[in-house]
């Protein structure tokens, strides 16, 4: 097949709405075309479209006009027989709302219609057959998520070849609202698992401003349940962020804890990754510095993993399960601070209670505030960052737990010398089963900075966090 006969993809005034030129091979018997060919079309610039249903519309008379309907799924439309004039209107919330694109189509063209763009067409020949592939199964309940706009709205100025006064149009289509009253189509939802954790609570705080976020607690999605992934409703979902984990690192070294850690952090994550892949949903897995042995600092995403404890081993297994599927992200972090129990909150409480703590001074890392972690993860999603691993932790100089504790005391107005240093070995003495902690928990952040994300200074965030704790205490 020559270069002139290759699939070509062209952009339109509506972002994401793409027109495809399809090679049509004709001879005395008729013609043949590859109406849908995933590999060639993705290579030409089409998104990796995964249809689940094929619908066909037969239209007996020229002038049959249908639309304009925006459905909550992606659509790939083509003409199998005849000719149409196609019209599309962007009904997605945002600056492009109301944008219009039109294309005259025969068998040699197809159009990829992204979710939330209203679709309409008018037949220009009798016995026209219009076909469309969609990415969600249709159901009566899905109608509640449709949006509509009137074919005749003068604000759209659609140049229908056959006057709508003479066209064949259903009564329902004639009664659709004009653009000024049309309901914008909401973006696909982002499900966050682990809603009761520090990171989950930070996402819940953002949900008021970001309507995509749907927060699920353990009561709604329990990773210790072997059937949780199969029961997870992913309809209308673009991403799942797995912020749930078994993080009791010392308990994980016990027989019962080992089983729980592997179920929640590895087995359940593998099933979740499979389920997301089946549904065409991207998965963001939140991971940990414990996948490393801590002998090196400033590790980048290419550094070999080498976990020394059960918790780190189970999280490393979860990472590999997620990375086995395309489109997924693994975001490693460390020393998370948010709403709930954490080191900073504990040090503040001890400072205010007059207790002088003993704190290890040979474990080095950086605090990561949950609010910054949510911001960074959503940045990766919204900018379409490439799949793979990203390191995301707080900005600033690396410090020991002892140094962090001293800073907390200082910012709370207490004498930092009240915080006593201790080696990890001395701190562990006589405390029974304890997991190994990484001596170094510092990441190289070059990759995520290259994606355009820069975190706020750690000390400013720490001051703000302590001020919030002071207000609510």
Note the pLDDT of residue 1. 39
Reply yes or no on whether 132 is catalytic.
yes
The tens digit of pLDDT for each residue in 104-114 reads: 999 999 999 99
23/109 Cα distance (integer angstroms): 9
- pLDDT confidence band for 3 (50 / 70 / 90): very low
What the block records as the tokens of 246 is: 């078994």
Helices 370-382, 198-206: axis angle to 10 degrees equals 60
Q: Out of 25, 76, 130, 132, which one is annotated catalytic?
A: 132
Q: Verify that 292 and 155 share a domain, yes or no.
A: no
Reply yes or no on whether 69 is catalytic.
yes
Q: Verify that 193 and 174 share a domain, yes or no.
A: no
Note the pLDDT of residue 4. 53
- pLDDT confidence band for 422 (50 / 70 / 90): very high
- Structural domain count of the chain: 2
What is the Cα 381 distance to its own chain's centre? 5
Note the pLDDT of residue 396. 86
386/162 Cα distance (integer angstroms): 45
Q: Kindly state the average pLDDT of the residues 409-437.
A: 93
311: left (phi over 0), alpha (psi -120 to 50) or beta: alpha
The tens digit of pLDDT for each residue in 188-205 reads: 999 999 999 999 999 999
Q: Is the pLDDT of residue 2 over 80?
A: no
Query: Considering 181, 198, 215, which residue would you say is the last residue of a domain?
Result: 181
Q: Kindly state the average pLDDT of the residues 11-25.
A: 96
Q: Is the pLDDT of residue 431 over 90?
A: no
Q: Verify that 96 and 198 share a domain, yes or no.
A: no
Mean pLDDT (the chain, rounded): 95
What the block records as the tokens of 403 is: 């140094």
Q: Verify that 148 and 248 share a domain, yes or no.
A: no
34/252 Cα distance (integer angstroms): 54
Cβ-contact 21, 8 below 8 angstroms: yes
Query: Considering 181, 198, 217, which residue would you say is the last residue of a domain?
Result: 181
Q: Verify that 103 and 218 share a domain, yes or no.
A: no
Q: Verify that 299 and 448 share a domain, yes or no.
A: yes
Q: Verify that 128 and 199 share a domain, yes or no.
A: no
Q: Kindly state the average pLDDT of the residues 413-419.
A: 98
Name the residue range of residue 438's domain. 189-472
CATH number, domain containing residue 440? 3.40.50.720
Q: Kindly state the average pLDDT of the residues 253-276.
A: 97
359-383 burial, b for 16+ CB within 10 Å, e for fewer? Answer: bbbbbbbbbbbbbbbbbbbbbbbee
Residue 162 Cα distances to 5, 71, 131, 272, angstroms? 32, 25, 21, 50
Which strand (E) or helix (H) includes residue 70? strand 65-70
Q: Cβ atoms within 10 A of the Cβ of 223, count?
A: 23
307: left (phi over 0), alpha (psi -120 to 50) or beta: beta
Helices 401-411, 458-472: axis angle to 10 degrees equals 60
Q: Verify that 299 and 173 share a domain, yes or no.
A: no
The tens digit of pLDDT for each residue in 205-263 reads: 999 999 999 999 999 999 999 999 999 999 889 999 999 999 999 999 999 999 999 99
Check whether the bond before 456 is cis (ω within 30° of 0). Answer: no
The tens digit of pLDDT for each residue in 349-401 reads: 999 999 999 999 999 999 999 999 999 999 999 999 999 999 999 998 999 99
Query: Considering 181, 197, 224, which residue would you say is the last residue of a domain?
Result: 181
Q: Verify that 176 and 230 share a domain, yes or no.
A: no
CATH number, domain containing residue 170? 2.60.120.10
Q: Kindly state the average pLDDT of the residues 405-423.
A: 97
* High-pLDDT (> 90) share of the chain, %: 90
412/227 Cα distance (integer angstroms): 46
Q: Verify that 204 and 164 share a domain, yes or no.
A: no
Q: Verify that 205 and 295 share a domain, yes or no.
A: yes
Cβ-contact 361, 422 below 8 angstroms: yes
Q: Kindly state the average pLDDT of the residues 297-314.
A: 97
Q: Verify that 174 and 272 share a domain, yes or no.
A: no
């Amino acid at each position: 097949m020559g270069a002139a006969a290759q699939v070509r993809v062209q952009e339109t005034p509506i972002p994401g709405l793409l027109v495809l030129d399809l090679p049509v091979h004709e001879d005395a018997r008729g013609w043949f075309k590859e109406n849908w060919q995933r590999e060639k079309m993705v290579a030409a610039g089409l998104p990796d479209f995964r249809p689940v249903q094929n619908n066909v519309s037969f239209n007996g008379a020229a002038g049959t006009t249908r639309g304009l309907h925006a459905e909550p799924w992606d659509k790939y439309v083509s003409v199998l027989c005849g000719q149409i004039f196609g019209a599309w209107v962007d009904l997605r919330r945002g600056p492009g709302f109301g944008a219009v694109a039109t294309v005259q189509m025969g068998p040699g063209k197809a159009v990829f219609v992204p979710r939330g763009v209203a679709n309409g067409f008018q037949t220009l020949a009798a016995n026209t057959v219009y076909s469309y592939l969609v990415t969600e199964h249709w159901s009566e309940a899905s109608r509640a998520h449709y949006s509509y706009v009137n074919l005749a709205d003068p604000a759209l100025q659609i140049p229908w070849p056959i006057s709508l006064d003479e066209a064949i149009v259903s009564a329902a289509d004639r009664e659709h609202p004009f653009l000024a009253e049309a309901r914008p189509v909401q973006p696909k939802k982002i499900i966050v698992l682990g809603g009761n954790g520090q990171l989950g609570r930070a996402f819940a705080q953002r949900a008021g401003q970001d309507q995509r976020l749907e927060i699920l607690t353990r009561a709604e999605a329990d990773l210790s349940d072997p059937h949780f992934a199969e029961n997870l409703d992913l309809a209308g979902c673009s991403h799942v962020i797995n912020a749930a984990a078994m993080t009791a690192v010392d308990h994980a070294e016990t027989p019962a804890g080992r089983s729980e850690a592997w179920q929640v952090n590895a087995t359940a994550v593998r099933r979740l990754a499979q389920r997301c892949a089946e549904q065409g949903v991207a998965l963001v897995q939140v991971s940990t510095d414990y996948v490393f042995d801590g002998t090196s600092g400033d590790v980048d995403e290419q550094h070999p993993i080498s976990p020394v404890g059960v918790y780190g081993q189970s999280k490393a297994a979860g990472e590999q399960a997620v990375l086995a599927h395309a489109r997924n992200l693994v975001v490693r972090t460390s020393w998370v601070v948010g709403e709930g129990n954490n080191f900073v909150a504990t040090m503040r409480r001890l400072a205010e209670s007059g207790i002088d703590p003993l704190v290890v001074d040979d474990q080095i890392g950086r605090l990561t505030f949950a609010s910054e972690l949510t911001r960074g993860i959503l940045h990766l999603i919204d900018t379409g960052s490439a799949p793979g691993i990203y390191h995301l932790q707080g900005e600033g100089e690396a410090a020991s737990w002892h140094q962090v504790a001293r800073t907390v005391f200082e910012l709370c107005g207490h004498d930092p010398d009240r915080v006593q240093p201790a080696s990890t070995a001395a701190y562990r003495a006589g405390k029974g089963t304890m997991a190994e902690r990484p001596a170094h928990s510092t990441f190289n952040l070059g990759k995520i900075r290259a994606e355009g994300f820069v975190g706020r200074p750690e000390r400013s965030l720490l001051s703000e966090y302590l001020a919030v704790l002071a207000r609510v205490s």
